[in-house]
Every structure is written in C-alpha cells, then in structure tokens.
Structure 1
Amino acid sequence: MTLAEAIEVLQAETVVPAPEGDRELAAGFASDLMSDVLAFARQDTLLLTGLATDQTIRTAAVRHLAAVVVVADKEVSSDMLEAAREEDIPLCRTAMSKFAACGRLWEKGLSAVENGKPRDA
C-alpha cells in the first residue's frame, strides 16, 4: 500500500505532505507510547497515534518512519507541525479512532508490525 492509498482509506487530511511525493509503506504500527515506537517500529512504517506532540515527530524521524497519522480528530499542535516540516515527516490527521483506522488499513492489506517485524495482512 502506498501513503496516498492509506490517506484515502483513512479519509485523512494531509497537514504536511510527503516531500518526495508518494511512497510505499512497509507496514503499519499504532501506539501512543513512543518507547514502543522506538523499540518495534521499522523504517517506512506508517505510525497511527493519538499523541499529537512534536515528540511523536522526533521519534518518527529517528526510526525513519514513512508518515504519522494523528487519529480521533485531534488537533495538531504548532510544535508538531513545525517539527514535521523540519524533519520532512509527512503528517496527516483523521477523524477515525485508532482502532477503526487500524482495522481499515488491515482490511485493505497493509501489514502490521509485530515483535519488530512486518506481519502480512
């Protein structure tokens, strides 16, 4: 699945677009605990989170994630927006809950990260 396809599935608003255009996603990962993201997420993973802070973007940059999607219609802080632009991390937001967003992406074939490894849908 590509980032553009995921954005469509999630009916998400793009807040900071991908600087290099569309890209292939390796897997999806959902967490509000950035320690779990650091431990388990892998490069080119799509992160779904309810944590709308600049620390989420800093964590995504360290792990070379494909993009961050803020769920549950949460507002993106100005610090988060600025960090996403600085780090060239695509940032989106959706009204869907984290649970619903994960389910839709899984249903459409995006694999999950489990124990640090992608698992096929």
Structure 2
Amino acid sequence: SMHDHRGRFAALTFASNEAHPPFLRSLTRYEKAMQLVAINVHIHARRRLAEDCVVDGITLTRREFECLKWAACGKSAWDISQTLGVSKRTVTFHQENAKAKLGVRTINQAVVRMAARARS
C-alpha cells in the first residue's frame, strides 16, 4: 500500500489460491519493480477517476456525466443507482447538479446537450 503526495491511499494486491505460490519466493527480488507497477497503476487510476467532462464549455464531474450517460440509455435514477452502487438520492443529486450547470430544466434536455457534444 502507499500514500501519494496528497495523502491519498492506494493498494495493489497480488494473490494466489496456492498455499506457497512460486511468485512469493520472488517477492524480495522483484519488490522494486512491483512498487513501480503499483505507483503507475495508482497514477493511471487517479487520472481516470479525476477526469471531468466538458459539455459546451461547461465542466461536469465524472459522476455527473456518468449519471447523464446512463439516463441517455433510458435508465431511471433508481436503475442508475443500482448500476453504480449508490443511492437513488445520490444519482438525483448528480443529475440536478448537471442540469443546473448546463442551464436546463430536465434530464432529457441535459442528455440532448451531452449528445450534441458527442457529435461535435
């Protein structure tokens, strides 16, 4: 496990269903390489998770965009909550934020703005 310069925690686990897997004997030998892999996985994951989406010059968080994307697929807030593993209220919160940022009143209007971005 590790902490980055901002104190964020990350862990990368190597596991086996064997009692004494062969790679266990190599841990000391490859410890530095495995640390490098863990650091790179952490950096890549943080970048992916932190990506924001810009719609018509307006920045939506990854979660706001994700909730709109699922709505565009015809999913209700409850369906989206089940897909993302969050509460329906959390989905509604992100959708309301996205609508406010985009200056629209309905999810359908927000989805149309998002779809127009995808075509341009």
TM-score, reference length from structure 1:
0.29
Flag the structure with larger Rg: 2
TM-score, reference length from structure 2:
0.30
**In proportion to residue count, which structure has more helix?**
2
RCO comparison, higher one (Cα < 8 Å, 6+): 1
**In proportion to residue count, which structure has more strand?**
1
